[in-house]
A and B are shown apart, each in its own frame.
Chain A
Amino acid sequence: MKLDFQHTQAAHCENGVTTSLLRHHGVNQITEPLAFGIGSGLFFIYIPFMKVNNGPAIAFRTQPGLIFKRTCRALDIPVERKKFRSPEEAEKVLMNCLKAGQPVGCQVGVYYLTYFPKEYRFHFNAHNLIVFGREDDQYLISDPVMEMATSLSSYELQRVRFAKGAFAPRGQLYYPKERRAVTDDQMRKAIRSGIKHNIRYMLQVPGNIIGIRGIRYTAKKIRGWRDKLGLEKAGSYLAQLVRMQEEIGTGGGGFRFIYGAFLQEAFAYHPLDELQEISGQFTRSGDIWRSAAVQAAGIYKGRIGSQADFNLMSDYLNESADIEKAAFTALSKIKWPA
């Protein structure tokens, strides 16, 4: 059994699943940048006292699952989401969906994901893919980060759906419940509210670890890493930062380029020159994030490593923070036509 479903590649897994499922349900306007922007995906957080793979806990995007949820809500599309105790029940529900012609989004862990290269298989449990059919024992899989559709045996799929640890997926599956066309007017409203929420996350969350203030906080921490951790461990920390920023899924520059693309696409719905201009600011910020990554690589590869090198790294982050603060402030001042 193979559903009529179009695999499309995306930069990020959750954007990709959201885009593909919505398109399948008749939302022809949706693209990856639009899904990311409407879902208010851009974010920054540094969680102190928490370790991920023995390194700092840093994220450039919002919490897993939220982009799909927010985008569907903004477009007024009802969503079904289920978690399971038993793998048997999880498989039964999945099969029922497929029989009903419904491709299904699944949250999975990547450690046992067989088609991934071994180097990428850490215990990361917030990956997303779409199941769109079954032939004999093989489930047909559309994984948005892969160029081609692929497949997993029923055992392999069960294993990744019931991966354990932080963010354990517990067999979680989700899909839009109804086929609904979306009007351009709805798109306009969704884009506006997506931007509005993103401004709030980046500028207005209290405390100093989230949004622009979180970037500055990280910049300050980095300055101290060399003395506090020693050169080698500081290098590992920087490598972790770079992986969160550039690894598969970010589209480059810690999602800043996808956000720039979103603002340009938003221009098609809201022809306001500010959007184009601010898009350029995100491109600049993303470029600075990438310069910071090059600087970090110099440190973790042992080519450079003086305190001045750490300071420069920190300055890059502050520069990005300045630009993004100006960009979001400009977004908050836009006069949207009624």
Chain B
Amino acid sequence: MKKTETPQDLGALGKITNEICYAVDESGKYGTVLSNGWEVKSSALDVAWHDVEKRIETARQRVMDKEASPLLFFMELHVMDIPIVAAYTGFWKWQVKKHLKYSVFESLPESKLEKYARLFEVSIPELKTMKKNEA
């Protein structure tokens, strides 16, 4: 990459900090240049978040159809998977898997719901109704 060709397409990171790129000058000598983003990679990031949004929407629908518990919705909302939820809450993975069932989740005691509520930074009623904390 030539120094003069370093992309400057303001991206999400560019608003907060420029990033260092390594590039060559006319004589082929390397040095660093600051870039505030590249459209190719910011659109790759958009694709990733678009996929996340889609997963959240699918989860919301499945919860409303009672095919899954609200836990699924919050898990997708926080870009987590079962191992991550298990690690943060202290449950076993098989327990989290069970809690993803609507009927099982319904009958969970407050003490267990509390752990999920704390992880997702919502109250227990919010947890049950899929109300997300925007803060």
Contacts and interface: CB of A to CB of B under 8 A. Distances in A.
A182 interface: no
A306 interface: no
Interface string A107-130: 000010001111110110000000
Contacts of B31: 261
22 contacts: A9-B20, A11-B20, A53-B48, A55-B48, A111-B79, A117-B16, A119-B45, A123-B80, A123-B84, A164-B88, A165-B80, A165-B87, A166-B83, A235-B47, A236-B48, A246-B38, A251-B20, A252-B23, A257-B21, A300-B43, A300-B44, A300-B47
Interface string A281-321: 00100110010011011001100000000000000000000
Main secondary structure of the interface of A (DSSP, over half): helix
Interface in B50-96: 51, 55, 78-80, 83-84, 87-88
B53 to A, nearest CB: 12
A53 B87 contact: no
B40 interface: yes
B108 interface: no
A260 B22 contact: yes
A143 to B, nearest CB: 9
A86 B63 CA distance: 36
Interface stretch (A56-64, A237-245, A322-330): A237-245
B112 interface: no
Contacts, number: 125
A247 interface: yes
Contacts of B130: none
Interface residues on B, range: 35 or more
Interface of B: 1, 6, 12-13, 15-24, 28-32, 34, 38-41, 43-45, 47-49, 51, 55, 78-80, 83-84, 87-88
Given A117-B12, A257-B30, 18 more contacts: A11-B22, A53-B48, A53-B79, A115-B16, A118-B12, A119-B12, A119-B49, A120-B12, A122-B48, A146-B16, A147-B17, A147-B18, A236-B51, A242-B40, A246-B38, A246-B41, A294-B40, A297-B43
